[in-house]
Amino acid sequence: MRFERIFEDLEGRLEHHEQEELRAVSEDLARAERAQLTLADRLRGAGERELTVHIGADLRLSGVVQEVGAEWVALRETRSAQRAVVPLAAIGIVEGLSSRARPAEATLRSPLGLGSVLREIARDRSVVRLETSAGAVLGRIAAVGADTLDVLSLPTGESASVPGSTRLTVTTDSLLAVLPR
User: What is the spatial distance between Cα 140 and Cα 128, in angstroms, rounded to a whole number?
Assistant: 6
Q: Tens of pLDDT along 21-68?
A: 888 877 776 676 667 688 988 898 888 899 999 998 889 999 999 999
174: burial class by Cβ within 10 Å (0-12, 13-18, 19+)? middle
pLDDT (0 to 100) of residue 145 = 92
Decide: 133 and 170 in contact? Cβ < 8 Å.
no
Q: pLDDT at position 63, please? A: 94
How high is the pLDDT of residue 157? 56
Q: What percent of the chain has pLDDT over 70?
A: 86
Supply the pLDDT for residue 26. 77
b/e burial code for range 108-142 (CB count within 10 A of at least 16 → b): bbeebebbebbbebbeeeebbbbbbeeeebbbbbb
Q: Taking CA 99 as the corner, what is the angle to CA 50 and CA 23, rounded to the nearest 5 degrees?
A: 165
Q: Tell me the per-residue pLDDT of 124-163, one tens digit each, with 9 for 90 and over.
A: 998 999 999 989 999 999 999 999 999 998 866 555 555 5
pLDDT-derived band at 111, boundaries 50, 70, 90: confident
Distance CA 36, CA 97 (A): 17
- Identify the pLDDT of residue 50: 94
When pLDDT is averaged across residues 70-79 and rounded to a whole number, the result is: 90
Strands 91-95 and 127-132: unpaired
What is the pLDDT at residue 110? 67
* Higher-pLDDT residue of 47, 123: 123
pTM here is 0.73
A 10 A CB-CB count for 179 gives 21
Confidence at 80, pLDDT banded by 50, 70, 90? confident
User: Greater confidence, 159 or 99?
Assistant: 99
Are 164 and 138 within 8 A, CB to CB?
A: no
Rounded distance between C-alpha atoms, residue 101 and residue 1, angstroms: 55
CA distances from 144 to 31, 51, 85, 103, 151 (A): 40, 29, 15, 29, 9
